[in-house]
Amino acid sequence: MTEPHTFRIQLAPIGLRRCGDCQLCCKLMPAKDVPKRENQKCPHQRRGVGCMIYPRRPRGCETWSCRWLTGDDTDDLRRPDRSHYVIDPVPDHVTARDNATGAEQIIPVIQVWCDPDYREAHRDPALRRFIERQAGWAALIRFGYRDALLIVPPAMMHDGRWGETTAMQPDREHSLLDTIAALSGDPP
């Protein structure tokens, strides 16, 4: 039996970091309450101004903050608009299946939404160090809703090197409750 994984979701504390001109989350993040296409800027976003409906923005936008903004172990990372990726505070998981035995293993992942115009941004050494510090977690580098790359830190690989795979079959979108159940050992 494996130990349950723990994770936290942290809202942005007042006064630490500010978005400034960064609006990358408005482009990359899925927003169910906002009519926008994948990897297209939100229709309410205005360059140099920000959100035009800020006081009345959807609940999902109001409660969400990227991990750079919260300062959650991200001191050495550049602001998302400069690094071309946004680290999502909401965890997810993937199910790894051994093709030979059929055995399955749930792997907790940090979601990193990477600008598809900068597909190699995930190779940023600072991001790789951040991922390595998240002991027992891999990273799901998302270029869109169904376009992703799983990267596994050396400590989780048998050969001690970074693992990368695109051989994934997205089965369905996980809710936060699905992920909590999966990581606590109670599959959804």
Q: What is the pLDDT of residue 174?
A: 67
Q: What is the pLDDT of residue 145?
A: 82
With a cut of 70, list the residues of the chain below it in pLDDT. 1-15, 167-176, 179, 182-183, 185-188
Amino acid code (one letter) for 26: C
**Three-state secondary structure call for residue 177:** helix
Owner of token pair 């990358």? 24
**Three-state secondary structure call for residue 111:** strand
pTM of the model: 0.81
Owner of token pair 């991001």? 127
86: part of which helix (H) or strand (E)?
A: strand 85-87
Please count the other Cβ atoms lying within 10 Å of the Cβ belonging to residue 1. 4
Q: What is the pLDDT of residue 68?
A: 95
Indicate the DSSP class of residue 15.
T
Is-contact 93 179, C-beta < 8 A? yes
Backbone angles phi, psi at 54, to 5 degrees: -45, -50
Q: What is the pLDDT of residue 168?
A: 65
Token output for 23: 């609006």
Is-contact 10 17, C-beta < 8 A? no
Indicate the DSSP class of residue 61.
H
Q: Residue 8: name the closest of 151, 188, 134 by CA.
A: 134
Q: What pairing do the DSSP bridges indicate for beta strands 85-87 and 50-51?
A: unpaired
Residues whose CB falls within 8 Å of the CB of residue 75, separated by 6 or more in sequence, listed in order: none
Span 170-188, pLDDT tens digits: 556 666 677 677 667 655 4
DSSP for 143-157 reads SSSS-EEEEE-GGGS
51: part of which helix (H) or strand (E)?
A: strand 50-51
